[in-house]
Structure 1
Amino acid sequence: MSFNEKQISGVVIKQIALLAIILILVALICFNLALFIPSVLGAITIYVVCRKYNFYLQEEKKWKPWASSLALMFASLIIIILPLYFIGDLLIDKLGNAQAYMAKFNVFIDKIHDFVYSKTKIDILSKENMTKVKAFAGRFSTTALSGTFNTLTVVISMYFILYFMFEKPRMFERILASAAPLKRSNVSMIGEKMRKLIMANAIGIPVVALGQGIVALIGYFIFGAPSPILLFALTAVASMVPIVGAAIVYVPICIFMIAEGQTGHGIGLGAYCLIIVGVTDNLLRFTLLKKLEDIHPLNTVFGIILGMNLFGFMGLVFGPIFISLTLLLIQVYRNEFSEDDTPELQLPDKDQELETKIDLII
């Protein structure tokens, strides 16, 4: 092999240099405008949700761009943002007084632990674990309090960005499509996949959460649970967590009520939540979420954790979208640059049996 054949192509060197410059500039922009990243994600989320209505108003109903933009912004504020902000603000208001909250929370935890230990002799929480639980609750309340003003800033800047997206939607989409250094088929796939993911996370999951929270709130009032409004907000947030969901909230409450001597009310609330709230969860998931994108539970769990750390309370919606987008870009990279002709692994439908074995070649 000659020396010239070992040399790196000048075209490759130029590509690498240009990519390095682009990455450095993007990193600088993101670092210095990190405050507005949640706003951009929120604007994109609402744009996707309201996209077809915006085109309908501007192109079919012949509304002025500013009129359709303001109308959809106001509608999204009432239907999407205010319910989420109400739950977040309620939690922050209740948990904001850290000293008073922690005193009540410590009594709550100790009461449940002592009751379970006296009945079962099972030490569900050792002293070390109880200390960790109490410390985590204190950190969460402090973080929630510090995120109050950030959420308002995110919402205001989000609608500022959203207005310019709504005003000239065709131009906005052409700019995005032309800026993406990908094949047209992959750009279309990203657009369609992101639309489904955003609809599932921004509409499906919050609707399921609010539905369970409202149904549980009725039970909390009926059976005299302490602080029913706070429990409503906690139940709505907890219902976003797959598998365990709202049980994280109502099971300890039922045990606490029984330990306080309200045995009938505690058992009644447990039965109500187990049956009615459980049926509500299954009904909404098998009707609404089935029509939207099917999101893996681990995606939701880690997305919520990531989103809360990065974006605060609004991360409950943005976190799962962020992880889904990352996985989607990995798939796009494979489609764009991989020379492997092996077809993608297609999993069988849930209602079908796996008739043939699949050999995974490593």
Structure 2
Amino acid sequence: MMNKDKQISSVAIKQVSLLAIILILTGLICFNLSLFIPSVLGAITIYVVCRKYNFYLQEEKKWKPWLSSLVLMLASLIILILPVYFIADLLIQKLGNAQAYMEKFNVFLEKIHTYIYSKTDFDILSKENMDKLKSNVGQFSTKAVSGTFNTLTVIMSMYFILYFMLERPRFFERIIASSAPLKRANVALIGEKMRKLIIANAIGIPVVAMGQGLVALVGYFIFGAPSPVLLFALTAAASMIPVVGAAIVYVPICIFMIAEGNTGQGIGLAAYCIVIVGLTDNLLRFTLLKKLEDIHPLNTVFGIIMGMNLFGFMGLIFGPILISLTLLLIQVYRNEFSEESTPDLKLPDSDDETDNKIDIIV
């Protein structure tokens, strides 16, 4: 006869059944609305960045909720979205004419290949490798053009969701906090940590990319690089890629300039990029990003790889956030269910401060 202490209680069975139903329904919703996941993530990101300004306008300045929401949405569009969209649109315009672009790109590759082979006898770009590279670049340019409509759809959906978040922020945050099946201290821990991560990724990464792109643009003009504005956009986008970064753009350009006979300008641009652009990257990363939130480099590397596969270009921001959130939830699980329940992040001491922290959305 089974011991009663070892029998599963009816309450536990009900809990597990209800949890299974919730997970299945959540999975169905996410699967069928996967197109809008980047819109939701983008809306949450902008909400966190604008949160304190929204409360200031609504609660201290007594602005109408709809007016405060529209003003902050317009400000975020001008400051955050348009610079990124400008770079993406510039790339699409330049790469949009696939045939003309591929002709120039083929000449560019042939120049680099011929120069390297003549100097080193090393066939770095064999015919097979060059065909693969040309094919991949052609596919990328086609995807860039076809992705324009999807990007506009994501942005429109994102602002539609964001409006309802900003209009009634206390109500929105109360729903999020009350829905989390966690202790209040752990809700506060997640809220505070995610606020820092989102601001670091939403502000830090684009600022580093734009800063590095602008500094490189000066060098492209000084040393007479071809299509400096296009190279600026490519450098800004490439600076977000882990490990190689902007070097994936300026190294081939320097070799191409030397191969065309502009040896002094090519070497000068290489020195400028290695020293000045590299110094700008390190300076911004070790000051701005560390001040916002000290994110481990491996989080960024794996987050960007995963984010690009899931969300495309927007995954550069959302990927590292999701990796950091996963690690944070592991820490919260330990705090929630183990005897050692002291979070690593310092939490508020008073009840009033804790209530305020719980308002922070994840």
Residue 213 (structure 1) aligns with? 213
| More moved, 283-292 vs 48-57 | 283-292
Residue 328 (structure 1) aligns with? 328
| More moved, 275-284 vs 245-254 | 275-284
Measure, in 1, the Cα distance between the counterparts of 2:334 and 2:188: 15
Residue 314 (structure 1) aligns with? 314
Measure, in 2, the Cα distance between the counterparts of 1:43 and 1:213: 26
* 1:224-271 superposed Cα distances (whole Å, 9 cap, x missing partner): 111111111110011112332111110110001101111111111111
Change (3 A) 1:265 1:118: same
* 1:316-362 superposed Cα distances (whole Å, 9 cap, x missing partner): 222222222222222222322345x499999xxxxxxxxxxxxxxxx
1:100-249 superposed matches below 5 A: 100-249=100-249
* 1:68-88 superposed Cα distances (whole Å, 9 cap, x missing partner): 111111110000000011111
Give 5+ residue unaligned stretches, structure 1: 347-362
TM-score of the pair, normalised by structure 2: 0.89
Measure, in 2, the Cα distance between the counterparts of 1:144 and 1:326: 30
CA contact (8 A) 1:151 1:314 kept: no
The alpha carbon displacement at 1:28 in A equals 1.4
Amino acid at match of 2:292: L
Measure, in 2, the Cα distance between the counterparts of 1:334 and 1:99: 56
Measure, in 1, the Cα distance between the counterparts of 2:203 and 2:334: 30
The alpha carbon displacement at 1:117 in A equals 1.9
Measure, in 2, the Cα distance between the counterparts of 1:168 and 1:343: 33
Measure, in 2, the Cα distance between the counterparts of 1:302 and 1:271: 30
1:1-362 superposed matches below 5 A: 2-338=2-338, 341=340
Measure, in 2, the Cα distance between the counterparts of 1:338 and 1:227: 59
The alpha carbon displacement at 1:26 in A equals 0.7
Measure, in 2, the Cα distance between the counterparts of 1:203 and 1:49: 9
| More moved, 273-282 vs 147-156 | 273-282
CA contact (8 A) 2:335 2:342 kept: no
CA contact (8 A) 2:236 2:246 kept: yes
Q: What secondary structure is seen at the aligned counterpart in 2 of 1:147? A: helix
CA contact (8 A) 1:144 1:313 kept: no
| More moved, 59-68 vs 293-302 | 293-302
Change (3 A) 1:115 1:32: same
Change (3 A) 1:8 1:256: same
CA contact (8 A) 2:212 2:236 kept: yes
Measure, in 1, the Cα distance between the counterparts of 2:330 and 2:173: 22
* 1:200-225 superposed Cα distances (whole Å, 9 cap, x missing partner): 11000100100110111111122111
The alpha carbon displacement at 1:177 in A equals 0.1
TM-score of the pair, normalised by structure 1: 0.89
CA contact (8 A) 1:88 1:313 kept: no
Measure, in 1, the Cα distance between the counterparts of 2:343 and 2:162: 36
CA contact (8 A) 1:151 1:313 kept: no
Measure, in 1, the Cα distance between the counterparts of 2:317 and 2:101: 26
Measure, in 1, the Cα distance between the counterparts of 2:114 and 2:166: 57
Amino acid at match of 1:320: P
Measure, in 2, the Cα distance between the counterparts of 1:196 and 1:342: 22
Amino acid at match of 2:286: F
Amino acid at match of 2:205: I
Amino acid at match of 1:232: F
Larger RCO (CA within 8 A; separation ≥ 6): 2
Q: What secondary structure is seen at the aligned counterpart in 1 of 2:293? A: coil
Change (3 A) 1:103 1:334: farther
The alpha carbon displacement at 1:90 in A equals 1.2
Change (3 A) 1:46 1:343: closer
Change (3 A) 1:54 1:288: same
Percent of aligned positions that are identical? 81
Residue 354 (structure 2) aligns with? none
CA contact (8 A) 2:242 2:301 kept: yes
The alpha carbon displacement at 1:191 in A equals 0.6
The number of aligned residues is 345
Give 5+ residue unaligned stretches, structure 2: 346-362
